[in-house]
A = this chain, B = another copy of it.
Amino acid sequence: MRPSERAPDQMRAVTLETGVNRYAEGSCLISFGHTKVLVTATVEESLPGWLRNKGQGWVTAEYGMLPRATHSRGRREAAAGKQSGRTQEIQRLIGRSLRAVVDLKALGERQITLDCDVVQADGGTRTAAITGAWVALRLATKYLLDEGVLKTDPIVGQVAAVSCGVFNDTPVLDLDYEEDSSAEADSNFVLTNAGDIVEIQATGEKRGFSRAEFEALFGLAEKGIGELFTLQRAAIGG
Protein backbone atom coordinates (compact mmCIF):
# COMPACT_ATOMS: atom_id res chain seq x y z
CA MET A 1 0.00 0.00 0.00
CA ARG A 2 1.38 3.42 -0.98
CA PRO A 3 1.29 6.16 1.70
CA SER A 4 -0.77 8.27 -0.69
CA GLU A 5 -3.17 5.36 -1.29
CA ARG A 6 -2.45 5.55 -5.01
CA ALA A 7 -2.46 2.39 -7.15
CA PRO A 8 1.07 1.24 -8.13
CA ASP A 9 0.60 2.53 -11.69
CA GLN A 10 -1.17 5.76 -10.71
CA MET A 11 0.43 9.17 -11.10
CA ARG A 12 -0.22 12.09 -8.81
CA ALA A 13 -2.50 14.87 -10.07
CA VAL A 14 -0.53 16.75 -12.70
CA THR A 15 -1.40 20.32 -13.66
CA LEU A 16 0.23 22.65 -16.15
CA GLU A 17 -0.47 26.37 -16.01
CA THR A 18 0.98 28.47 -18.82
CA GLY A 19 1.62 32.21 -19.17
CA VAL A 20 2.63 32.59 -15.53
CA ASN A 21 5.44 35.06 -16.22
CA ARG A 22 4.77 38.41 -17.85
CA TYR A 23 8.18 38.77 -19.50
CA ALA A 24 9.34 35.31 -20.57
CA GLU A 25 8.83 34.13 -24.16
CA GLY A 26 7.34 30.96 -22.69
CA SER A 27 6.45 29.97 -19.13
CA CYS A 28 4.76 27.21 -17.24
CA LEU A 29 4.00 26.26 -13.64
CA ILE A 30 3.87 22.49 -13.41
CA SER A 31 2.64 20.50 -10.41
CA PHE A 32 3.09 16.79 -9.76
CA GLY A 33 0.99 16.63 -6.59
CA HIS A 34 2.70 18.91 -4.04
CA THR A 35 5.80 19.30 -6.22
CA LYS A 36 5.68 22.64 -8.02
CA VAL A 37 8.22 23.86 -10.56
CA LEU A 38 8.15 27.24 -12.24
CA VAL A 39 9.71 27.13 -15.71
CA THR A 40 10.51 30.10 -17.92
CA ALA A 41 11.94 30.00 -21.43
CA THR A 42 14.15 32.92 -22.41
CA VAL A 43 15.16 33.55 -26.01
CA GLU A 44 18.45 35.36 -26.52
CA GLU A 45 19.86 36.39 -29.87
CA SER A 46 23.37 35.39 -28.87
CA LEU A 47 25.27 32.21 -28.19
CA PRO A 48 28.04 31.14 -25.84
CA GLY A 49 31.45 31.59 -27.50
CA TRP A 50 32.10 27.94 -28.30
CA LEU A 51 28.90 27.72 -30.35
CA ARG A 52 29.14 30.82 -32.49
CA ASN A 53 29.25 30.74 -36.25
CA LYS A 54 28.31 27.10 -36.53
CA GLY A 55 24.95 27.63 -38.18
CA GLN A 56 22.98 26.33 -35.22
CA GLY A 57 21.40 27.38 -31.96
CA TRP A 58 21.43 25.98 -28.45
CA VAL A 59 18.96 24.96 -25.75
CA THR A 60 20.17 24.88 -22.18
CA ALA A 61 18.67 24.67 -18.71
CA GLU A 62 19.31 25.91 -15.22
CA TYR A 63 17.78 24.41 -12.11
CA GLY A 64 17.34 25.81 -8.65
CA MET A 65 15.38 25.16 -5.51
CA LEU A 66 14.02 27.86 -3.25
CA PRO A 67 15.53 27.37 0.22
CA ARG A 68 12.25 26.42 1.85
CA ALA A 69 10.92 24.30 -1.00
CA THR A 70 11.64 21.32 1.24
CA HIS A 71 10.55 20.09 4.68
CA SER A 72 13.54 21.70 6.34
CA ARG A 73 15.28 24.75 4.95
CA GLY A 74 18.25 24.12 2.68
CA ARG A 75 21.11 26.53 2.22
CA ARG A 76 20.64 29.04 -0.61
CA GLU A 77 23.15 28.09 -3.31
CA ALA A 78 23.84 31.74 -4.17
CA ALA A 79 24.85 32.31 -0.54
CA ALA A 80 26.92 29.12 -0.46
CA GLY A 81 28.77 30.45 -3.49
CA LYS A 82 28.28 27.43 -5.69
CA GLN A 83 25.80 25.06 -7.17
CA SER A 84 25.85 21.59 -5.67
CA GLY A 85 26.84 18.55 -7.69
CA ARG A 86 23.19 17.47 -7.58
CA THR A 87 22.02 20.78 -9.07
CA GLN A 88 24.55 20.61 -11.87
CA GLU A 89 23.69 16.98 -12.59
CA ILE A 90 20.01 17.84 -12.86
CA GLN A 91 20.39 20.90 -15.07
CA ARG A 92 22.65 18.98 -17.45
CA LEU A 93 19.97 16.27 -17.65
CA ILE A 94 17.20 18.77 -18.39
CA GLY A 95 19.24 20.42 -21.15
CA ARG A 96 20.12 17.09 -22.81
CA SER A 97 16.51 15.95 -22.63
CA LEU A 98 15.13 19.04 -24.34
CA ARG A 99 17.80 19.11 -27.04
CA ALA A 100 16.74 15.57 -28.00
CA VAL A 101 13.59 16.99 -29.58
CA VAL A 102 14.98 20.22 -31.04
CA ASP A 103 16.46 20.70 -34.49
CA LEU A 104 19.25 23.09 -33.46
CA LYS A 105 19.94 24.13 -37.07
CA ALA A 106 16.30 25.12 -37.53
CA LEU A 107 16.54 27.18 -34.36
CA GLY A 108 19.18 29.39 -35.93
CA GLU A 109 21.97 31.16 -34.07
CA ARG A 110 20.07 31.90 -30.89
CA GLN A 111 19.83 30.34 -27.45
CA ILE A 112 16.83 29.33 -25.40
CA THR A 113 17.40 28.97 -21.67
CA LEU A 114 14.95 27.03 -19.56
CA ASP A 115 15.02 28.19 -15.94
CA CYS A 116 13.45 25.55 -13.73
CA ASP A 117 12.90 26.78 -10.19
CA VAL A 118 11.38 24.46 -7.64
CA VAL A 119 8.90 26.37 -5.53
CA GLN A 120 7.84 23.32 -3.52
CA ALA A 121 9.40 19.87 -3.53
CA ASP A 122 7.70 16.55 -2.80
CA GLY A 123 9.76 14.20 -4.96
CA GLY A 124 10.17 14.08 -8.72
CA THR A 125 11.36 17.65 -9.22
CA ARG A 126 13.67 16.83 -12.12
CA THR A 127 11.01 14.89 -14.03
CA ALA A 128 8.44 17.63 -13.46
CA ALA A 129 11.02 20.16 -14.63
CA ILE A 130 11.66 18.30 -17.90
CA THR A 131 7.97 17.84 -18.56
CA GLY A 132 7.16 21.49 -17.87
CA ALA A 133 10.22 22.77 -19.70
CA TRP A 134 8.98 21.18 -22.90
CA VAL A 135 5.79 23.24 -22.61
CA ALA A 136 7.67 26.49 -21.94
CA LEU A 137 10.04 25.75 -24.79
CA ARG A 138 7.15 24.99 -27.16
CA LEU A 139 5.49 28.28 -26.26
CA ALA A 140 8.72 30.18 -26.85
CA THR A 141 9.25 28.66 -30.31
CA LYS A 142 5.59 29.31 -31.10
CA TYR A 143 6.22 32.95 -30.17
CA LEU A 144 9.22 33.03 -32.52
CA LEU A 145 7.14 31.51 -35.31
CA ASP A 146 4.28 33.94 -34.71
CA GLU A 147 6.72 36.86 -34.75
CA GLY A 148 8.21 35.64 -38.01
CA VAL A 149 11.62 35.20 -36.44
CA LEU A 150 11.51 31.51 -37.30
CA LYS A 151 10.05 30.11 -40.51
CA THR A 152 10.07 26.44 -39.55
CA ASP A 153 9.35 24.86 -36.22
CA PRO A 154 12.54 23.57 -34.56
CA ILE A 155 10.57 21.30 -32.20
CA VAL A 156 10.57 17.83 -33.72
CA GLY A 157 8.72 15.93 -31.01
CA GLN A 158 7.54 15.82 -27.41
CA VAL A 159 9.67 14.83 -24.46
CA ALA A 160 8.50 14.10 -20.94
CA ALA A 161 9.82 12.34 -17.87
CA VAL A 162 8.69 10.45 -14.82
CA SER A 163 10.27 8.66 -11.90
CA CYS A 164 9.52 5.08 -10.88
CA GLY A 165 10.84 3.00 -8.06
CA VAL A 166 10.64 -0.19 -6.10
CA PHE A 167 8.81 0.61 -2.86
CA ASN A 168 8.10 -2.15 -0.35
CA ASP A 169 9.23 -4.60 -3.04
CA THR A 170 6.56 -3.30 -5.42
CA PRO A 171 7.31 -1.34 -8.61
CA VAL A 172 5.40 1.95 -8.44
CA LEU A 173 4.95 4.98 -10.68
CA ASP A 174 5.78 8.62 -9.80
CA LEU A 175 7.39 8.46 -6.36
CA ASP A 176 6.56 11.17 -3.86
CA TYR A 177 9.08 12.24 -1.23
CA GLU A 178 7.89 9.80 1.41
CA GLU A 179 8.21 6.88 -1.00
CA ASP A 180 11.45 8.15 -2.47
CA SER A 181 13.19 8.30 0.88
CA SER A 182 12.57 4.64 1.65
CA ALA A 183 12.50 3.09 -1.86
CA GLU A 184 14.71 0.11 -2.65
CA ALA A 185 15.35 1.44 -6.14
CA ASP A 186 14.79 4.75 -7.85
CA SER A 187 14.75 5.56 -11.55
CA ASN A 188 14.06 8.39 -13.96
CA PHE A 189 12.89 7.79 -17.50
CA VAL A 190 12.92 10.44 -20.22
CA LEU A 191 11.10 9.34 -23.39
CA THR A 192 9.89 10.93 -26.60
CA ASN A 193 6.44 10.60 -28.11
CA ALA A 194 8.10 8.65 -30.93
CA GLY A 195 8.77 5.92 -28.37
CA ASP A 196 12.50 6.59 -28.15
CA ILE A 197 14.61 6.57 -25.04
CA VAL A 198 16.29 9.89 -24.32
CA GLU A 199 17.69 9.02 -20.93
CA ILE A 200 17.39 6.33 -18.30
CA GLN A 201 18.87 6.66 -14.83
CA ALA A 202 18.27 3.80 -12.44
CA THR A 203 19.87 3.36 -9.05
CA GLY A 204 19.64 0.75 -6.35
CA GLU A 205 19.22 2.62 -3.10
CA LYS A 206 18.71 0.19 -0.26
CA ARG A 207 19.71 -2.85 -2.26
CA GLY A 208 20.53 -3.80 -5.83
CA PHE A 209 17.50 -4.69 -7.89
CA SER A 210 16.84 -7.29 -10.53
CA ARG A 211 16.50 -7.00 -14.27
CA ALA A 212 12.87 -8.12 -13.93
CA GLU A 213 12.15 -5.29 -11.54
CA PHE A 214 13.83 -2.89 -13.94
CA GLU A 215 11.58 -4.07 -16.78
CA ALA A 216 8.51 -3.45 -14.62
CA LEU A 217 9.69 0.09 -13.91
CA PHE A 218 10.19 0.67 -17.62
CA GLY A 219 6.61 -0.38 -18.32
CA LEU A 220 5.22 1.92 -15.65
CA ALA A 221 7.25 4.81 -17.06
CA GLU A 222 5.87 4.26 -20.56
CA LYS A 223 2.34 4.40 -19.16
CA GLY A 224 2.91 7.55 -17.09
CA ILE A 225 4.77 9.43 -19.77
CA GLY A 226 1.98 8.66 -22.22
CA GLU A 227 -0.38 10.49 -19.88
CA LEU A 228 2.04 13.41 -19.63
CA PHE A 229 2.19 13.79 -23.41
CA THR A 230 -1.60 14.23 -23.46
CA LEU A 231 -1.41 16.89 -20.72
CA GLN A 232 1.40 18.73 -22.51
CA ARG A 233 -0.61 18.92 -25.71
CA ALA A 234 -3.65 20.20 -23.81
CA ALA A 235 -1.52 22.86 -22.11
CA ILE A 236 -0.30 24.31 -25.38
CA GLY A 237 -3.78 24.30 -26.79
CA GLY A 238 -3.65 21.07 -28.74
- In chain A, residues 28-68, which have Cβ atoms closer than 8 Å to a Cβ of chain B? 34, 38, 40, 42, 44, 62, 64, 66-68
Number of copies: 6
Interface pair A66/B192, CB less than 8 Å apart: no
In chain A, residues 100-127, which have Cβ atoms closer than 8 Å to a Cβ of chain B? Answer: 100, 113, 115, 117, 119-120, 122
In whole angstroms, how far apart are the Cα atoms of A229 and B98 in the complex? 37
B202 engages A197 (CB within 8 Å): yes
Q: Which residues of B contact A195 (CB under 8 A)?
A: 210-211
Listed stretches A9-17, A73-81, A145-153; interface member: A73-81
Contacts of A218 in B (CB 8 A): 211
Which B residues touch A84, using CB under 8 A?
88
A interface secondary structure, majority: mixed
Contact A76 B62 (CB under 8 A): yes
Interface string of A199-212 (1 = CB under 8 A from B): 11111100111110
B194/A115 in contact, CB under 8 A = no
Known A67-B42, A115-B66: A201·B204 in contact at CB below 8 Å: no
Please indicate which of the listed interface residues A42, A68, A86, A100 has the most CB atoms of chain B within 10 Å of its own CB. A68
Q: Find chain B residues with CB under 8 A from A27 CB.
A: 68
* A192 partner, pick from B79, B208, B211, beta carbons under 8 A: B208
- List, in ascending order, chain B residues with CB within 8 A of A73's CB: 42, 44, 113, 115
Cβ-defined contact, B96 with A203, below 8 A:
yes
Decide yes or no whether A5 CB sits under 8 A from chain B: no
Interface-central residue, A71, A96, A117, A207, by most chain B CB under 10 Å: A117
Chain B residues with CB under 8 Å of A204's CB are 100, 196-199
Docked pose: A99 CA to B72 CA in angstroms: 23
Name which residue of chain B comes closest to A203, CB basis.
B199
Binding site for B on A (CB under 8 A): 21-24, 27, 34, 38, 40, 42, 44, 62, 64, 66-73, 76-89, 91-92, 96, 100, 113, 115, 117, 119-120, 122, 185, 187, 191-192, 194-204, 207-211, 213-214, 218
